[in-house]
Each structure stands twice: as C-alpha cells, then as structure tokens.
Amino acid sequence: MSIVNVIGLGYIGLPTALILAKSGIKVVGTDKNSSLVNSLIEGKLTFEEEGLMELFQTAQSNGIKFSTDYQVAQTYIIAVPTPYVKESKKLDPKYVISAVNSVLDVCEKGTKLIIESTISPGTIDKHIRPQIEKRGYTIGEDVHLIHAPERIIPGNMVYELEHNSRTIGVDNLEIGNKIKGLYSNFCNGEIVITDIRSAEMSKVIENTYRDINIAFANELAKICRTDNLDVYEIIKIANKHPRVNILQPGPGVGGHCISVDPWFLVGDYPDLTNLILTARKINDSMPGFVLSRIRDIMRQHKIKDISKVGLYGLTYKENVDDIRESPTLQLIERMDEHLAFGVKIFDPYVKSRIVEHQFMNFEDFLNEIEIVVIMVAHDHIIENVELIKNKLVLDTKNICTFKEAFKL
C-alpha cells in the first residue's frame, strides 16, 4: 500500500496525520523541526487538544512514523504555516512553496499534492503552478494539484475532523473523486468537489463571515456601553428571533485564522472590501476598548498603579494553549505604547514564560493585584470564580454572575 506523507506537524497536520493512520492508512508525518519530530517519536504530544492523546495512541499502534525527511510517496498533504506580511497584509507563501519544492525532489510520477494550508485566493495559480512548471513537471500528468482547506476548530479538532463537511478543489473530477475517497476514510461529513480557486475563496470567506459577525457583536457592546445598556441581555433577546443569531462580544479576535484571513481579501481587493475592512478594524480596536474600560475602573476606584491590574488569560480563546494573535498580547502591546508597564499576567494553559510579569501560580497572581481582567473564559476561571469575588473584576467574557463585576 502506498503511503501518505503529511508535511507540517502543527495544529492541522498532526491531527490529520493521526486520524489518517487511525483509519488504517500508512502515514509518515514530516516536519523540518527535529525536536518536534523527536518528541513525537518518543510518544510525546507537542500541544494539548481534547481527544488527541487517544488518537495518537491508536495511530502509534497502527504504525505511524515521523521523520524530518520527505518520503517517496503517491500522496502528500501539505499543512505548513501561511503567515501574512504585517505591513502589506498579504499572504507570504514561502513555506508552502518550499514544501512543494521538497515534495517535487522526491515524489513519484502522478503524485497527488494536496495543500491544506489556508492560502489567499489565487495563490495556487500565482505561486504554486509556476513553481511546479519551472521545475519541468507537467501538472495533470506528473503532479496533480489539490486544495483541501481544513476547517477544524481548536478545542474540538478531533470531533470536527470526523464530522465537518470538507471542500476538495481540483483541476479534474477523476482526481477529485480519488481524494474524496481518501478523506472519506475518516470524514463522515459531506465532501464537496469544486475547482481550486473556488476552494481557496470559500475557505477565506468562511473565516471572514465569522469575523464580520463577531465585529457586529463588538460594535453592539460599544453602543450599549455608551448608553449603559446590558449588551448580553439585548443579544439574548434579539436571538429569540428565528432568523437572528448574534455572536458574543469579547476583548478582540485572535488566532491564526479569523484575525488573519480577511486581510487577504482586503490586500487583494482594496476597493471592494469596505465591510470586511471595517469589521477587521472594529475587532482590532477591542483590546484598546478594554484598556479604556480598565482606565475607567482605575479612575473610579482611585487606583493609580497599573501593576495592581492583572490580566487573566493569554491564549487567543478558552481552553487551548495557543497564543497566536491573542487579544491579551495585543492589549499588552498597546499598554507598552502608552508606557503603561507592569501589568500582571496569568494563564493556566501557558506553561512557559512568554511575557514580563507573568505568574505561574494563580494565588500568587491574585495576591499582587486589585483589578482582575478576565480576557479568556477558561474553565479554570469559571470553576474558581469565588476566588476573585473580593477583587474588582472586569469581565470581558461575561462569565461572572455577581452584579459587582464590570462588563465590556
């Protein structure tokens, strides 16, 4: 049986490799980071995720292998990062291009090259096809290109890998059906076959849709604050309407997807993306809004020293250890710009020290502060909410039921 070589063993590649192996496929996971590969070989997971350990154990007993080398194979799944350039907001395809080149060095004729990484619409035509052709390969004969964007949500990845619908973008239906066959080994959701550009675009607009909807909730929070209305009560009532489903306001939008992908559209269609750009700006303004709420509370209670403020939560959302683009990091950056140094930080999911004044122990953290700002609704704080009742609390995630808590 031919193997599937999964390239990039991060948040998407690793669970994908494991679930393929669980379904009985021969899988080798490849990553250029040798310490990550060694950890996996030693049986240690590189991030925490519900159900991932079980999946890992099953994949191990089914013979999954990990390596820093690209394998000779018929099928490759590329799940490497696709960062964006901060200034231009455009996607930087360097890791995908480099992975494609390394695949071309070793692949068999007729190989199926599946790109799962999120890419901006047009990336395959603009960057990947020319690269393959430059190397003298004929697309459709030597190499078949596929874009199968992932859709799983951190915190519920294993479940969603099996149950979400998927998109397969291809140049021809025959290959599309083969890839559909591969994914249906573990995916019970509907698998839609389309062309590559539509697959690229649909992925990016899914995240943009969510960004816009979160921005609406955040704008409502600001409106309600001005008039001293309870935004959560208002959203709850509005959502009783059968065709209304407003999301929840919060301290900002983080993660490597929703806060990033809409920028690809803004970068590529600057004259056409008014709504999308405005939504991005609203969500990006939220850490600043939290900062102004902190200032209000400090003034009201005559607290002058910012080091009496503690931010609870560093990750970009609850019950994950991922800090990419997190609203708390955005907030700290803003504080630094305003020369407000010394704010205290705690997150039970972040085990290494990544910011100044970060505490590793919750009680020590509480002992140092007068104001707790809940930035992330980890189960840990929900379970320990009694411990912060004697503090001033700014609850940006609406988890506190006691009426003294300040809200967004």
What does residue 133 show for φ and ψ, rounded to 5 degrees? Answer: -65, -40
Stretch near ligand SAJ under the rule CB under 6 A, chosen from 69-77, 148-156, 172-180, 331-339: 148-156
Asked whether position 348 contacts ligand SAJ by CB under 6 A, the answer is: no
Q: Find the largest Cα–Cα distance for the chain.
A: 72
Asked whether position 115 contacts ligand SAJ by CB under 6 A, the answer is: no
Pick 178 or 225: Cβ nearer ligand SAJ: 225
Footprint of ligand SAJ on 276-335 (CB under 6 A): 316-317
Distance CA 26, CA 59 (A): 10
Residues 13, 15, 169, 254: which binds ligand SAJ (CB under 6 A)?
A: 254
Cα of 9 vs its chain's centroid, Å: 15
What's the token pair of residue 351?
Answer: 């085990």
Distance CA 286, CA 375 (A): 11
Residues involved in catalysis: 203, 257
Stretch near ligand SAJ under the rule CB under 6 A, chosen from 42-50, 68-76, 171-179, 255-263: 255-263
Residues 53, 97, 139, 153: which binds ligand SAJ (CB under 6 A)?
A: 153
Pick 70 or 219: Cβ nearer ligand SAJ: 219
> Are the beta carbons of 22 and 127 closer than 8 angstroms?
no
Residue 245 Cβ vs ligand SAJ, minimum distance, rounded to whole Å: 10
Residues 13, 15, 154, 310: which binds ligand SAJ (CB under 6 A)?
A: 154
Asked whether position 118 contacts ligand SAJ by CB under 6 A, the answer is: yes
Asked whether position 103 contacts ligand SAJ by CB under 6 A, the answer is: no
Residue ranges in 93-248 assigned as alpha helix (H) = 94-106, 123, 129-134, 157-163, 173-183, 196-226, 231-238
What's the token pair of residue 282?
Answer: 């609203």
Distance CA 272, CA 56 (A): 44
Stretch near ligand SAJ under the rule CB under 6 A, chosen from 145-153, 294-302, 306-314, 344-352: 145-153
> Are the beta carbons of 39 and 62 closer than 8 angstroms?
no
Pick 31 or 150: Cβ nearer ligand SAJ: 150
Pick 132 or 212: Cβ nearer ligand SAJ: 212
Long-range pairs, 40-48, Cβ under 8 A, ≥24: 40/9, 40/14, 40/66, 41/66, 46/9, 46/14, 47/11, 47/14, 47/321, 47/322, 48/320, 48/321, 48/349
Stretch near ligand SAJ under the rule CB under 6 A, chosen from 51-59, 184-192, 252-260, 365-373: 252-260
> Are the beta carbons of 321 and 315 closer than 8 angstroms?
yes
The CA-to-CA distance between both ends of the chain, in Å, stands at: 56
Residues 115, 179, 201, 214: which binds ligand SAJ (CB under 6 A)?
A: 214
Stretch near ligand SAJ under the rule CB under 6 A, chosen from 99-107, 182-190, 253-261, 384-392: 253-261
> Are the beta carbons of 365 and 359 closer than 8 angstroms?
yes
Asked whether position 248 contacts ligand SAJ by CB under 6 A, the answer is: yes
Residue 284 Cβ vs ligand SAJ, minimum distance, rounded to whole Å: 12
Angstrom CA distances, 358 to 209, 298, 347, 354, 361, stand at: 34, 21, 8, 7, 9
Pick 257 or 306: Cβ nearer ligand SAJ: 257
Footprint of ligand SAJ on 172-211 (CB under 6 A): 206-207, 210
Pick 131 or 396: Cβ nearer ligand SAJ: 396
> Are the beta carbons of 359 and 346 closer than 8 angstroms?
yes
Positions touching ligand SAJ (CB under 6 A) are 118, 150-154, 206-207, 210, 214, 247-248, 250, 253-255, 257-258, 316-317
